[in-house]
A and B are shown apart, each in its own frame.
Chain A
Amino acid sequence: MDFLNALVALTNFVVIPALAYGSQLALGALGVTLIYGILRFSNFSHGDVMAFGTMWVILTTWLLQAAGIGFGVLPTALLALPVGIVATILYMLAADKFVFSFYRRQRVKPVVLVMVSIGVMFITNGIVRLIIGPGRQSFDDGGRFIFSVREFREWSGLAEGLALRTTQFLTMVIALAVMIALFWFLNRTRTGKSMRAFSDNEDLALLSGINPDRVVRVTWVLTATLATIAGVLYGLDKGFQPFTYFQLLLPIFASAIVGGLGNPLGAIAGGYIIAFAEMTITYAWRRVLGHILPEEWLPDGLIQVLSVDYKFAVSFALLVLVLIFRPTGVFRGKSV
């Protein structure tokens, strides 16, 4: 029985949050890895693009809520999601046309493109803060829980509770659907195949008549879509704040690199690896261990390896370990 309690506590405090957070990171890392695979640079503006898309979704949500339109138990933001995606796609295509394409034609070194993406990051960040402000916005509505701690306790009769919030559940389901759709697109459709070919060997792809402009456009569209979805899911789960989104850059990059830059499967795996590592290392294990270990074995304190404020250190440590021992990532990405 105690073991069950420990398991429930573990699921409630570590597994479910980490799965949700991992899904959000994975979607973010997919965007980064796609840009890296096709355009061959690390896009520093990704976090702010996520914030940009989320901002439009929030604004549309407010509009819908003001008009009295809801989505039942689901958050209204899901209805607003297409607006955000379209806005972000238009924004990224404009950014490519006016900013990135010039450097692509010049065939500059990747590091210059990174610099350019920092410029885009500044602009995007400025736009977001100008329109919605730097403050924290919370925009989830609808039913809060699939099942709550109380309901679970009554159902199971255990001492520990387990709750599944709607946003967490939605995050996992939507992320899974998006990943399946993305892999179907990359593996089954003609455009997707041409993208993979372009990523594998640019010259060969060009020789076989693949239109590079089209591939690049599709990549931006996919990235914008992924970024908006990731941003909205993160915002629903943990609240929206421009600065937090900027800071997501580090765990997202860590996910993409740990999985192997340029490899979509790696990005997904990386997202979950980073999320689980972050959660397990910053979780106070006393509660779980209290159920398993006898009282006298239990050490003092919270049994927490690092305080939650050091979650960056976890992403960073994993990143460094991977870079030292397996520079191409777990799933063998590119090492240009």
Chain B
Amino acid sequence: MSVNWRNIGLYAAFFAALAMVGMFQSWPLALTILNMGLISAIMALGVNMQWGYAGLFNVGVMGFTAIGGLAVVIVSMPPVTEAWSAGLFGTLLGLMIGAATIFAAIIVWKRMEPGRLRVAALVGTLLVGFILNRYFFVPAVDAIESINPATTGYLGGLGLPVLLSWPVGGVLAAGAAWIVGKVALGLRSDYLAIATLGISEIIIAILKNEGWLSRGVRNVTNLPRPVATPVEMREHQWVLTLAEQLGLQATTMSSILVQGSYALLFAAVLAVLIWLSEKALNSPWGRMMRAIRDNETAARAMGKDVTRRHLNIFILGSAVCGLAGAMMVTLDGQLNPGTYEPLRFTFLIWVMVIVGGSGNNWGAVLGGMVVWFLWVQVEPAGRWLIDMLTSGLGPDSDLRAHLMANAAHTRLLTMGIALLLMLRFRPHGLIPER
């Protein structure tokens, strides 16, 4: 494989831009952008697996990232023992009854002869299951939520190391993807899109409302961190000495160190994922996936089980998104279901994949970082632009004040324009598929 100078140049340009931010704005900001850029790159990798390799149109990315975020709470928060003794059994029993009901309903539908009797049996199964579920579930949930509602009011987690939650996030997202895929794959592409859009909204609704699980809209804050906080950093003498030597303030130095350690962690995960993805893409499995994408009928005729392969890749891609979601919540240190918005967590990731180059892992990664960079930096640029354009209106113009207040939304406009321009003039993205 020859060295591709163009691609290296693109990456170099990105890091040069990041360095400019570091020099002219601040280094902690540059590292913050880099961190979220790395996470976005991982999400873009996941979407790229589904869209780029297999042509699956998943607009439920938000749901899978949120599930990943939930994993952080479940794995790393200390358990609330009172809540466990008060309601764990009832909650789990209720959930199991719910799952068993659905399973039984599927069995009834598949095994019985079509007809009135089958419909009656189905409705009966669902009704009995629902009532049983409510009977055990609701009192248990009430018991959990009434324990210290101001501080806990939920089950808490398992109290395990937070890094463990990253793979767990991937696994949970994979589980959800299996359910979604079983239902929606094999349908037309538009239907898959709408079904995934729906499931992601439902997942967010669950996170917002099921207080026993993750406190709902009251958020879980102060999640354990894999690296020290800036305050802890400043307690070490070597940090202070280093700051002095570099001529930086102690606070800046410590946040650079913290953000830098996150960046190293994320970069390590990204490196592993890229290595795996490249291996997979260039393996017989990857070639089969692309063959299916390019001509489903031909692939089917060659004896490939298209629906099954689609399910595989859908689960894999979603798991990667879940992993990235867990990493993001770890970085933020809190799970805040109210902030999950499809434009930001689903469609922005899509812009990343299209801009970067669908079907190419390096392209998706570059797209993730570049688009995230734009997303952050367009806001001040938009503010400046509106400031310039409306400067003729005078300082106390209401219109000017109103537009300035809404200036942050220029980023949506910019993303739309970027997406349309790329689709029109460079449909293969910055780094096209080989």
> Which A residues fall within an 8 A CB radius of B?
41-42, 44, 99, 102, 110-112, 114-116, 118-127, 129-131, 133-134, 243, 246-247, 249-250, 253-254, 257, 301, 305, 307, 309-310, 312-313, 315-316, 319-320, 323-324, 327, 335-336
Main secondary structure of the interface of A (DSSP, over half): helix
The interface size of chain B toward A, counting residues with CB under 8 Å, comes to 49
Residue ID in chain B nearest A305 by CB atoms: B130
Chain A residues with CB under 8 A of B194:
42, 250, 253-254, 257, 319
Chain B residues with CB under 8 A of A123:
412-413, 416-417, 420
A246 and B342 within 8 A (CB) = yes
B413 and A301 within 8 A (CB) = no
Chain A residues with CB under 8 A of B209:
307, 309-310
Chain A residues with CB under 8 A of B342:
246
Q: How far is the CA of A64 from the CA of B10 in the complex (A)?
A: 53
On whether A243 and B409 interact (CB within 8 A), knowing A111-B57, A250-B198, the answer reads: no
Option from A130, A316, A320 in Cβ contact (under 8 Å) with B410: A130
Does B188 sit within 8 A of A, measured CB to CB?
Answer: yes
Chain B residues with CB under 8 A of A111:
55, 57, 189-190, 193
A122 and B198 within 8 A (CB) = no
Question: Can you list 30 residue pairs at the A/B interface with Cβ under 8 Å?
Answer: A41-B190, A42-B194, A102-B424, A111-B193, A112-B423, A118-B347, A119-B417, A120-B416, A120-B420, A122-B351, A122-B412, A124-B416, A126-B410, A126-B414, A130-B410, A134-B409, A243-B341, A250-B198, A253-B197, A257-B191, A305-B130, A307-B209, A310-B205, A312-B198, A315-B198, A316-B195, A316-B199, A323-B191, A335-B188, A336-B188
Q: Give a binary string over B350-362; 1 marks a CB under 8 Å from any A CB, 0 the rest.
A: 1100100000000
Chain A residues with CB under 8 A of B55:
111
Does B20 sit within 8 A of A, measured CB to CB?
Answer: no
How near does chain A come to B338, taking the closest CB pair, in angstroms?
12
Option from B350, B411, B413 in Cβ contact (under 8 Å) with A118: B350
Q: How far is the CA of A307 from the CA of B423 in the complex (A)?
A: 41
Q: How far is the CA of A131 from the CA of B402 in the complex (A)?
A: 8
Option from A110, A130, A313 in Cβ contact (under 8 Å) with B190: A110
A130 and B409 within 8 A (CB) = yes
Q: How far is the CA of A150 from the CA of B351 in the complex (A)?
A: 53
Q: How far is the CA of A247 from the CA of B205 in the complex (A)?
A: 12
Q: Give a binary string over B110-136; 1 marks a CB under 8 Å from any A CB, 0 the rest.
A: 000000000000000000001000000
On whether A122 and B409 interact (CB within 8 A), knowing A111-B189, A133-B402, A323-B187, the answer reads: no
How near does chain A come to B319, taking the closest CB pair, in angstroms?
22
How near does chain B come to A49, taking the closest CB pair, in angstroms?
13
Does B387 sit within 8 A of A, measured CB to CB?
Answer: no
Main secondary structure of the interface of B (DSSP, over half): helix
Does B158 sit within 8 A of A, measured CB to CB?
Answer: no
> Which B residues fall within an 8 A CB radius of A?
55, 57, 130, 138, 183-184, 187-191, 193-195, 197-199, 201-202, 205-206, 208-209, 341-343, 347, 350-351, 354, 402-403, 405-407, 409-417, 419-420, 423-424, 427
Option from A118, A121, A301, A316 in Cβ contact (under 8 Å) with B198: A316
A115 and B354 within 8 A (CB) = yes
Option from A102, A115, A246 in Cβ contact (under 8 Å) with B343: A246
B413 and A126 within 8 A (CB) = yes
| Closest CB pairs A-B (n = 9) | A122-B416, A126-B413, A126-B412, A123-B416, A316-B198, A129-B409, A119-B419, A119-B420, A42-B190
Q: How far is the CA of A301 from the CA of B141 in the complex (A)?
A: 14
B57 and A114 within 8 A (CB) = yes
How near does chain A come to B308, taking the closest CB pair, in angstroms?
18
Chain A residues with CB under 8 A of B410:
126, 130
How near does chain A come to B51, taking the closest CB pair, in angstroms?
9
Q: How far is the CA of A130 from the CA of B385 in the complex (A)?
A: 13
Most buried by A among B57, B198, B343, B414: B198
On whether A313 and B195 interact (CB within 8 A), knowing A126-B413, A133-B406, A324-B183, the answer reads: no
B412 and A125 within 8 A (CB) = yes
Q: How far is the CA of A257 from the CA of B184 in the complex (A)?
A: 14
How near does chain A come to B398, taking the closest CB pair, in angstroms?
12
